[in-house]
């Protein structure tokens, strides 16, 4: 059983209610060795980011907290990030949601999606229609992509010419 997180519906819910407090999810079996990162952050940099060649977000970061991995995907060193949000402001595509950068998160809002029980609780805590448990596989024609072995993401992805 996987969790499908619908980033399209999540963004719509946040536009409707900007003060919405979203539950956050982690999945420690995913490739994630540079500090604690949420599923939404991993999904955004992997699927939504336009992978700008000159990456103004990296250039503007005063803490040298952003870099590209070997696949050209932006990653944030959370231990270096000072939450200034300069990268959010300069990104021409509005890729990032500002709440990625909160320093003090409520620990109770984190769910480990590698634990089936926590995955169920996460889905129940998400706004209606934004997450579900599923046995589905990737379905690009429905904008559903695999983030890792436990998580599917629904989003409009940006495909570079190289891909
Ligand atoms: S919010 Fe963090 S990653 Fe973004 S520019 Fe500021 S220090 Fe860098
Ligand atoms: S500026 Fe925005 S779209 Fe461009 S690489 Fe950075 S996060 Fe991605």
Let me know if residue 160 belongs to a domain: no
CA 94 to ligand 2: nearest atom: 2
**Residue 159 maps to a domain:** no
The domain total for the chain is 1
Q: Is 38 in the pocket of ligand 2 (CB under 6 A)?
A: no
Q: Is residue 59 part of a domain?
A: yes
In the structure encoding, which two tokens stand for residue 36, read together? 């604690």
- Predicted local distance difference test score (pLDDT) of residue 68: 95
Question: What residue's CA is closest to ligand 2, atom 2?
Answer: 91
Q: Is residue 16 part of a domain?
A: yes
In this prediction, residue 67 carries a pLDDT of: 95
35 occurs within a structural domain: yes
What's the Rg (C-alpha) of the chain? 15
Whether 161 is covered by a domain: the verdict is: no
Full residue range of the structural domain in which residue 144 is found:
2-154
Sequence-separated (6 or more) residues with CB below 8 Å from residue 155: 6, 7, 8, 43, 47, 48, 143, 145
Return the CATH number at 40.
3.30.70.20
Whole-angstrom distance, CA of residue 43 vs CA of residue 19: 21
Domain contains 126: yes
Q: Does pTM surpass 0.85?
A: no
Q: Which two tokens stand for residue 44?
A: 């955004």
Q: What is the pLDDT of residues 69-127, one digit of tens each?
A: 988 999 988 888 888 999 999 999 988 777 676 655 555 568 889 899 999 999 999 99
Give the position of tokens 């005063």: 62
């Amino acid at each position: 059983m996987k969790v499908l997180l619908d980033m399209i519906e999540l963004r719509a819910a946040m536009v409707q209610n900007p003060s919405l407090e979203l539950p956050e999810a982690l999945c420690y079996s995913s490739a994630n060795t540079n500090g604690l990162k949420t599923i939404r952050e991993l999904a955004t940099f992997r699927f939504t980011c336009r992978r700008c060649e000159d990456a103004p977000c990296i250039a503007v970061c005063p803490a040298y907290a952003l870099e590209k991995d070997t696949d050209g995907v932006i990653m944030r060193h959370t231990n270096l990030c000072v939450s200034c949000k300069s990268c959010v402001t300069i990104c021409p595509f509005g890729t990032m949601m500002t709440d990625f950068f909160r320093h003090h998160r409520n620990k109770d809002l984190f769910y480990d999606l590698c634990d089936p029980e926590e995955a169920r609780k996460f889905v129940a805590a998400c706004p209606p229609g934004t997450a579900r448990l599923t046995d589905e596989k990737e379905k690009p024609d429905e904008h559903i992509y695999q983030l890792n072995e436990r998580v599917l993401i629904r989003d409009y992805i940006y495909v570079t010419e190289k891909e």
